[in-house]
Amino acid sequence: MKYNVMDIVPVDLWNKLVNECPWATFYHTPLWASILTKTFPRWENVTWGVEFDDGNEAIFPMLRVPLLGKAPFYWYESMVPGGYGGPIFRQPPQPEHYAVIWEHLHKFSNLLVMGNPYADWEALGFAKRATFTHIVKLGDFENVFRNFSKSRREAVRAAIRRGVHVEVAKFDESYKTYYAIYRDQLKRWGKNAGDFYPKKLFENLASGARKHETIKLWSTYVDGRMTGGALHANGLPGIILSPFIHAGFKHLGANSVPFLVLGVALFYFYR
């Protein structure tokens, strides 16, 4: 099989493959890569692609960061920070397509790929390490709600009785309030806070939300005042990745439970 490696991927082609690949997520998009590199300038977008002579195409979203100052030693990740990564394809890949991807990956000596459970990772021959994700089939919410723990169900009902409601906020207008709530969570967690995200990340997400409907902020309100929220990014068709940005979040998006804004968000953020 003949092929051509693209060191620079056209954004139009990148977006096209994201829309066509059944396991692509928000973290595979050029928008997410742009938000990250604008927020964390040390990270560089080094996404590459492959054009195959049978008409198939692949893109491997990837960022890198220098390990030793200006020396040419890098850490590569797909996709930062702990979001789903790896190759996406225009057409269902065959073993020969994966073989080309695998051959090209050998040029990167320090590479971490966060596995997507919908992709065929066996074909790439990666060394595995244990992690987890949550997959919830959405549809009849009553069926989802019944699987919540008893304490969570009671918390949701209590919050509703006290006037808590959920709606989609205009993130470009509400991100400052959302960031203030996040900062308050950091203070409350104190030394147990596991992560810190700079205000610049929220600003760049808000900028992206103005142009792309994939970014939504589901927020909880009490008496007209925002008390919490969950930042959602549409990725896989029919699936919402709902990363809760709070003081103990280790992997943005990869370990979050979809739709818990109707459960945990009401319970966790309500005061």
Task: Specify the amino acid at residue 259.
Answer: F
What phi, psi does 98 have (nearest 5°)? Answer: -60, -35
Q: What is the pLDDT of residue 178?
A: 86
- Per the CB < 8 A criterion, the answer to whether 257 and 263 are in contact is no
pLDDT in tens, 66-111: 988 777 899 999 998 878 899 999 999 998 999 999 899 888 888 8
Give the C-alpha separation, 112 to 174, whole Å. Answer: 34
Give the C-alpha separation, 196 to 199, whole Å. Answer: 10
Give the C-alpha separation, 255 to 257, whole Å. Answer: 7
Q: What is the pLDDT of residue 62?
A: 96
Q: Which DSSP symbol is given to 27?
A: G
Task: Specify the amino acid at residue 87.
Answer: P
Q: What is the pLDDT of residue 243?
A: 38
Give the C-alpha separation, 27 to 33, whole Å. Answer: 8
For the chain, the helix, strand and coil percentages under 3-state DSSP, each to the nearest 5: 35, 20, 45
Structure tokens at 178: 């959302």
Residue keyed to tokens 């943005």: 252
- Per the CB < 8 A criterion, the answer to whether 84 and 61 are in contact is no
End-to-end CA distance of the chain: 61
Nearest to 113 by CA among 99, 100, 127, 103: 127
Q: What is the pLDDT of residue 125?
A: 62
Q: What is the pLDDT of residue 247?
A: 36
What are the strands of the beta sheet with 88-89, ordered from one edge? 3-6, 48-52, 57-60, 88-89
- Per the CB < 8 A criterion, the answer to whether 35 and 45 are in contact is no
Q: Which of the residues in the chain have pLDDT under 50?
A: 236-271
Q: What is the pLDDT of residue 123?
A: 61
Tell if the pTM clears 0.75, that is, is over it.
yes
Nearest to 218 by CA among 251, 245, 186, 254: 245
- Per the CB < 8 A criterion, the answer to whether 80 and 43 are in contact is yes
Q: What is the pLDDT of residue 7?
A: 95
